[in-house]
């Protein structure tokens, strides 16, 4: 079941980009899925995690980022192919060969300001919709790494993708970001909003009583379903952010229990995704 999914929590530093990285690589290596990662954060974190820094600098300098694609289509009204902005075969894992990236750029914020100034929000949304429809045909999963906060582009993703996933650290402030997102999804409901595939507890310290207590609280009180699998706080996940110039194996990058947790998480994502699609088509038939 092909899907477009945005990874979103209004709060920063909750492990969004790390989750996108680990999911893309796990889906590629252990399930052979074709994954497109879209870097929708001006900090270009996921681009730097998936590509050599020199490569990131080159595509940014040449104006070949996701931001440049939208500048052309939305602000300049040009017909350009998003596929010509792709960086293919990214990742430092030698057996992850099915991941492509639309890299991010620091001029994203400036672009969004221009869209707002020119009152082109509706056009941006149409371009996002057309891009997603096309990308859905070419990949098993399109994963969008969103910036924290609710910018114009982030809102477009949230209203146009199939699903969103929210990672949260097991602490009070991080779940505030979830509440904010939940309230936002209720506003202007007629404009459409992605379905929540689940909340993922990230960076959980297995030896912390407080983390366990907060996780329990979240599972009991969250309006959205939580993934069974949590992401542990682990040094290997922290260092996964550094692109390794010499390719390594999946097992070296995500060893032991961390790798096991990621594989279970990816398997759970595939099951939830299929169930959500089945539910949608059942609802569709029921409505006929």
- Which range binds ligand ADP by CB under 6 A, 32-40, 227-235, 244-252, 274-282? 227-235
Residues in binding contact with Mg ion, number by CB under 5 A: 3
Q: Is residue 9 close enough to count as binding Mg ion by CB under 5 A?
A: no
- Sheet with strand 195-201: strands edge to edge: 99-102, 35-40, 141-146, 3-7, 163-168, 195-201
* Shorter beta-carbon distance to Mg ion: residue 45 or 222: 45
Tell me the closest approach of the beta carbon of residue 247 to ligand ADP, in angstroms. Answer: 20
Question: Tell me, what DSSP letter sits at residue 116?
Answer: H
Task: Work out the angle between the directed axes of helices 108-117 and 152-160 (0-180°, nearest 10).
Answer: 90
Tell me the closest approach of the beta carbon of residue 180 to ligand ADP, in angstroms. Answer: 14
Q: Is residue 17 close enough to count as binding Mg ion by CB under 5 A?
A: yes
> In the set 26, 40, 45, 98, which binds ligand ADP (CB under 6 A)?
45
Tell me the closest approach of the beta carbon of residue 222 to Mg ion, in angstroms. Answer: 22
Work out the widest C-alpha separation in the chain, in whole angstroms: 55
- Which range binds ligand ADP by CB under 6 A, 95-103, 124-132, 230-238, 270-278? 230-238
Q: Is residue 234 close enough to count as binding ligand ADP by CB under 6 A?
A: yes
Here the tokens at position 19 are 């989750």
Q: Is residue 98 close enough to count as binding ligand ADP by CB under 6 A?
A: no
Residues 29-58: x where in contact with Mg ion by CB under 5 A, - otherwise, as a string? ----------------x-------------
CA distance 191 to 122: 11
In the chain, which residue ranges form alpha helices assigned H by DSSP?
Answer: 16-31, 45-50, 53-61, 66-70, 108-117, 121-138, 152-160, 172-186, 209-221, 235-239, 250-253, 256-287
Tell me the closest approach of the beta carbon of residue 158 to ligand ADP, in angstroms. Answer: 16
Neighbours of 112 (CB within 10 A): 20
Q: Is residue 178 close enough to count as binding ligand ADP by CB under 6 A?
A: no
Q: Which of 255, 270, 237 is nearest to 32 (CA)?
A: 270
> In the set 143, 194, 203, 269, which binds ligand ADP (CB under 6 A)?
203
Question: Tell me, what DSSP letter sits at residue 147?
Answer: P
Q: Which residue has the tokens 């030698």?
A: 94
> In the set 238, 247, 252, 271, which binds ligand ADP (CB under 6 A)?
238
Q: Is residue 14 close enough to count as binding ligand ADP by CB under 6 A?
A: yes
Tell me the closest approach of the beta carbon of residue 146 to Mg ion, in angstroms. Answer: 8
Tell me the closest approach of the beta carbon of residue 267 to ligand ADP, in angstroms. Answer: 18
CA distance 201 to 219: 10
CA distance 120 to 133: 20
* Chain residues in the site for Mg ion (CB under 5 A): 16-17, 45
* Chain residues in the site for ligand ADP (CB under 6 A): 12-18, 45, 202-203, 231, 233-234, 237-238, 241
């Amino acid at each position: 079941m092909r899907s477009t999914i945005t990874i979103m929590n209004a709060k920063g530093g909750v492990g969004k980009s790390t989750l996108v990285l680990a999911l893309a690589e796990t889906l590629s290596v252990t399930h052979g899925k074709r994954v497109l990662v879209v870097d929708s954060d001006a900090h270009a974190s996921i681009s730097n995690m998936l590509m050599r820094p020199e490569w990131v600098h080159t595509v940014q300098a040449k104006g070949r980022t996701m931001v440049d694609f939208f500048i052309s289509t939305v602000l300049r009204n040009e017909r350009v192919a998003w596929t010509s902005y792709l960086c293919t075969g990214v990742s430092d894992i030698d057996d992850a060969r099915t991941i492509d990236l639309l890299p991010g750029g620091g001029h994203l914020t400036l672009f969004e300001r221009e869209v707002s100034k020119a009152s082109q929000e509706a056009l941006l949304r149409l371009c996002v919709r057309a891009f997603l429809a096309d990308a859905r045909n070419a990949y098993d999963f399109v994963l969008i790494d969103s910036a924290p906060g609710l910018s114009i582009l982030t809102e477009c993703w949230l209203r146009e993708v199939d699903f969103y996933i929210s990672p949260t650290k097991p602490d009070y402030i991080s779940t505030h970001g979830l509440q904010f997102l939940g309230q936002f999804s209720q506003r202007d409901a007629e404009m459409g909003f992605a379905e929540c595939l689940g909340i993922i507890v990230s960076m959980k310290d297995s030896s912390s009583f407080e983390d366990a207590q907060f996780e329990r609280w979240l599972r009991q009180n969250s309006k959205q379903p939580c993934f069974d699998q949590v992401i542990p706080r682990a040094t290997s996940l922290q260092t996964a952010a550094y692109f390794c110039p010499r390719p390594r194996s999946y097992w070296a990058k995500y060893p032991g229990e961390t790798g096991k947790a990621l594989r279970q998480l990816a398997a759970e994502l595939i099951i939830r995704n299929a169930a959500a699609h089945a539910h949608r088509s059942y609802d569709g038939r029921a409505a006929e």
